[in-house]
Chains A and B, each alone.
Chain A
Amino acid sequence: MADRPTSNASTFRSLVLIAVVVAALVAAFAFTAGWLSPGRLTPAKIVNALAPPGGAALGFRRNHAKGICFTGSFESNGAAAALSKAPMFAPGSSSAVTGRFNLATQDPKAPDATVRVRGLSLRIVAPDGSEWRTAMIDAPVFPVATPQAFYDLLKASADKSDPDAMKNFAAAHPSFGNFVAWAGSAPWTGSFAQEQYNSLNSFIFTNAAGQDQAVRWSFVPAAHPEAVSPDQLKALGDNFLDADITKRVQSAPQRWTLVVTAANPGDPTADPTQAWPEDRRKVEAGTLVVSAIEPEPDGPCRDLNFDPTVLPPGMHVSDDPFPAARSAAYAVSFDRRTAEDKDYPHHPAGGDTQ
């Protein structure tokens, strides 16, 4: 088929049209990718803001960098099956658990007594292979209500140029006070085994009948919490928490009861700075049994991303904005630290852990 003769003018118009179409597509792509929106809060920005002044510890989690692995099981008593059809809640089911006790710090060498917030991360794998991942902390409320406020808090706390940065932040975010009050007044303990770990974020449970229920959950320790003063903790050395939990688990498995709290209609599900009233219905779903501790280097938890949006059937996210933001930011942290594998001290010299 021969080329049809076309005028130079019409060829020029066609070429312009082609250029416009291609440019429009490139512009739409760049806009979608955020390249034209420097103000957009990206997961990379949050992770960058977590880095201490000297830079992130390469190969480590960007937050909750210090931790120790464990394995164990979750033994369901069946009571939560009325709330969620998740297979790990089936009566009598036993699910394999890989977990991590950790400290909310960007410094993997931070002395234990200097870190106020302690965490528990779990991967619970039901017998049918479905997974539930969750990462909790021992604070009863989260410091901030939105991911943007979290970013602003990181910025304010790192701001050395403005001595009023934190004061201004607190004034602009009144519910930050709930967390500050807890941090200032709650007793410290000398053991990961004596802490209660709370989801803080709200999720939706769906039972076999298809009924939805907004919930939060906590892992409540069987060990009785004993208050220890921060000064006494400092005297125990930098890594007393790892030594303590290792010793405890060596002598006997450590247990926590999973308590699921059901929201009443109207309870704030989108704001983790707001605790729900104490009288809400609570369901004891089963027992977490921690049966073996393993140091993080080459432990089974190190290269896991405890992404709180990895949920089994019968659970999904609520209108709480944090799980999505955490999932996005955890992925960036995971992508970076796995790429820095060679920088991670797989065999720490001088017995860094324990």
Chain B
Amino acid sequence: MTPIHDRFTPLQRALHWIMAICILAMLFIGVGMVSTVRPDYLTLVSVHKPLGILILVLALIRLVVRLIRGAPPLPASMPEPMKLAARLSHLAFYLLMIGLPLIGWGMLSAADYPVVVFGMHLPSILPHSNGLHTLLWNAHRVLALCFFALILVHLAAALLHALVRRDGVFEAMAPWR
């Protein structure tokens, strides 16, 4: 029934599901690491930083693919406010996927911590500044919680499309054929 161009491309679907796992893991690692003094703290931090850089790279690739390949049209049966919410949520996702890793990197730079990921010493992207560090640290925490809330809404909406509305929106991003 569903024509092939009604779905995201296989590359887009692969990026979506790989990033879904990475980002969900990232958010759990984030809240977990700041709430423990056990040796796990260092393990979690040592995953958090490279995973953040990986998400940033994947998000930039995904943005380029999205700009080139676009997205399948939303079904005509969807009310306009719901369509608007869907588009705005996608915009928010891209802003957060790209913004949060950059804010984290900037926050570490502003604190004058060395940023070492995958054995590489990344350059400092901001000057050493208490004010910048505080601003970015607060932004990192608040936006990460917003990201988790957005994912919950996204998940609920996806399941609503899959189980109740059954309008092909879920199938457009489903990992299977």
Residues of B within 8 A of A (CB): 1-2, 27-28, 31-42, 45, 75, 77, 111-114, 119, 121, 128, 130-131, 133-134, 137, 148, 152, 155-156, 159-160, 163-168
Contact = CB atoms under 8 A, between A and B. Distances in A.
Given A29-B31, A327-B42, A43 B37 contact: yes
6 contacts: A1-B168, A18-B159, A33-B35, A34-B32, A131-B114, A305-B111
Contacts of A335: 133-134, 137
Contact of A325 (B41, B119, B133, B152): B41
A15 interface: yes
A320 to B, nearest CB: 9
A353 interface: no
B134 A341 contact: yes
Contacts, number: 122
B113 A305 contact: yes
Contact of A323 (B42, B131, B159, B160): B42
Nearest to A2: B77
B134 to A, nearest CB: 4
Nearest to A32: B32
A324 B128 contact: no
Contacts of A161: none
Given A3-B77, A42-B36, A131-B114, A338 B134 contact: yes
B38 A341 contact: no
Contacts of B37: 41-43, 46, 147, 324-325, 328-329
Given A29-B28, A131-B114, A310-B114, A34 B36 contact: yes
Given A22-B155, A324-B37, A325-B41, A303 B130 contact: yes
A334 interface: yes
B38 A324 contact: yes
Given A43-B37, A303-B112, A338-B133, A33 B156 contact: no
Given A22-B156, A327-B41, A335-B137, A303 B113 contact: no
Given A6-B166, A317-B42, A34 B35 contact: yes
A1 B75 contact: yes
B36 A328 contact: yes
A50 interface: no
A177 interface: no
The 5 A-B residue pairs whose C-beta atoms are closest, nearest first, are A34-B35, A33-B31, A14-B163, A325-B37, A338-B130
